[in-house]
Amino acid sequence: MKGVIKESIQEFVETRFGRDVWQEVMTHAGCTEPVLSVCDDYTDELNSELIKALASISGMPAEDVLVEFGKFWVLNVGPEVHPAYYSLAGNAPRDFLLNLNWIHKQAHWDESRTAATRFEFEELSDGRLLIHFHSKGGLCSVLRGQILGVGIHCDCALKVRETACREKGEPHCTMEVIIP
């Protein structure tokens, strides 16, 4: 996985908890590299170790860390990394969410990674939106945070509930989104 995720985790930790905590997270995660480069590839395991380390150090449950990181990504990293998408997506949360496959494809040059993660949508007659999240890496808590972040970005109080989870034996994760 490209270093933009690792760099984003670093930015999240430093912004939320401070630079000293980031150094502690790196040490606790067993990361010996002094700097994580955006251009380099890193293992998914490093992501996991960084999140576990932050959870341990901060006292937050790992799931809460992932949700908060998802919000941070949408509100801070996304606009920096993908300004054109944010400009096109505008402030309509439904449109923003329905284009997740497009933004994911734009963010990944490696087609095998793009194919490994995809979203399917069901628009229900009562206005709810179901997002079926297919990913080898899981990270449904990050997606939940990202959906909440889209709501904040669009100044709209979205409600999201996970109705199926791959980590609990389901074939994929499903998020139910209520858009007022």
28 neighbors 57 (Cβ within 8 angstroms): yes
d(CA 132, CA 61): 24
Tokens 């990394």 sit on residue: 81
Instruction: Give the model's pLDDT for residue 82.
Output: 82
Find the mean pLDDT for residues 30-53. 72
Residues 107-157: tens digit of each pLDDT: 655 544 445 678 999 999 999 999 999 987 768 899 999 999 999 999 999
In this predicted structure, the answer to whether residue 165 has a pLDDT above a threshold of 60 is: yes
79 neighbors 8 (Cβ within 8 angstroms): no
Hey, where are the domains in the chain? 3-60, 66-178
Give SS3 for 49.
helix
Amino acid at 78: G
Helices (H), the chain: 3-17, 19-28, 44-58, 62-72, 78-81, 83-89, 93-98, 100-107, 111-116, 140-153
User: Are β-strands 173-178 and 129-135 bridged in parallel, bridged antiparallel, or unpaired?
Assistant: antiparallel
Find the mean pLDDT for residues 72-91. 86
Superfamily of domain 66-178: H-NOX domain (3.90.1520.10)
Q: What value does the mean pLDDT of the chain take?
A: 85
